[in-house]
Structure 1
């Protein structure tokens, strides 16, 4: 059920923003036909600065570099993941360092970026390996973010680990 919630939230964000999107194929392109029909605006290129910011965030997590994770965040920011809220760059850094202590081999695949004005959405796939057990896991992640100038002031992740379980 949680995977449908993420899908619906991301779909609503797509409709709400009706902004520009990358020219990558939609993540749902390989899914079997369903009875849900959604008409999205024609895709266009996203501002290169936004693409670079998203790529920097993905790379910072892949390289386990908490200083690079927080480099794009404003001093007064909010970072939300299921079950946790971090209200400053320092709190985000501490959470990232804790995460990196528990997980390795992080891979992020950016699937889609939608951007309009100062707000956007990201869809990316995430994989990781638990350092203690060696167990690998994957998740689909929809992210809503907002910039203040060129810095992230709001970042909220809707993580779906269920639809990737075989």
Structure 2
């Protein structure tokens, strides 16, 4: 994949997460693709779709602001600020998030997230 194709796929992923579109997210992955979050690993399209569907049932109002993207061959690191709201409690979750993504034949083969929920987004939040 070239740099523009990777940028386009990352933007499609951001859009799908914001719209909570489990099918769109799932279709971006290779058949055996994986999403790794702290303490969790979802492998294969069936598992990814199942877990994202669970997420959609529990959270709403997703907002993602991409801060930067670094690309090297068929991999990228994406830094973004992420927010969602828990449907059950109304609590607004916020995190600084870095995702390391591997690409294969136009699809995502690996999506590994590292997030920080403690550091304030704005200096006034200290």
Whether TM exceeds 0.5 here: the answer is yes
Within a 5 Å distance, the mapping from 1:11-90 to structure 2 comes to 47-90=3-46
- Partner SS state of residue 94, structure 1: helix
The runs of at least 4 aligned residues of structure 1 exceeding 3 Å deviation read none
How many pairs are equivalent? 121
1:150 corresponds to which of 103, 106, 126: 106
Deviation at 1:111, TM superposition (A): 0.9
Deviation at 1:47, TM superposition (A): 2.1
1:105 maps to which residue? 61
TM-score by length of 1: 0.70
Q: Answer 1 or 2: which has greater strand percent.
A: 2
Superposition RMSD in Å: 1.4
TM-score by length of 2: 0.91
Task: Name the CA distance, whole Å, in 2 between partners of 1:57 and 1:152.
Answer: 10
Between structure 1 and structure 2, the one with the greater Rg is 1
Deviations 1:7-64 (A, max 9, x none): xxxxxxxxxxxxxxxxxxxxxxxxxxxxxxxxxxxxxxx8221111111111111111
Deviation at 1:164, TM superposition (A): 3.0
Task: Name the CA distance, whole Å, in 1 between partners of 2:115 and 2:47.
Answer: 20
Task: Name the CA distance, whole Å, in 1 between partners of 2:91 and 2:34.
Answer: 30
Task: Name the CA distance, whole Å, in 2 between partners of 1:163 and 1:47.
Answer: 31
Within a 5 Å distance, the mapping from 1:110-129 to structure 2 comes to 110-129=66-85
1:140 corresponds to which of 78, 81, 96: 96
Unpaired runs of 5+ residues, structure 1, are 1-45
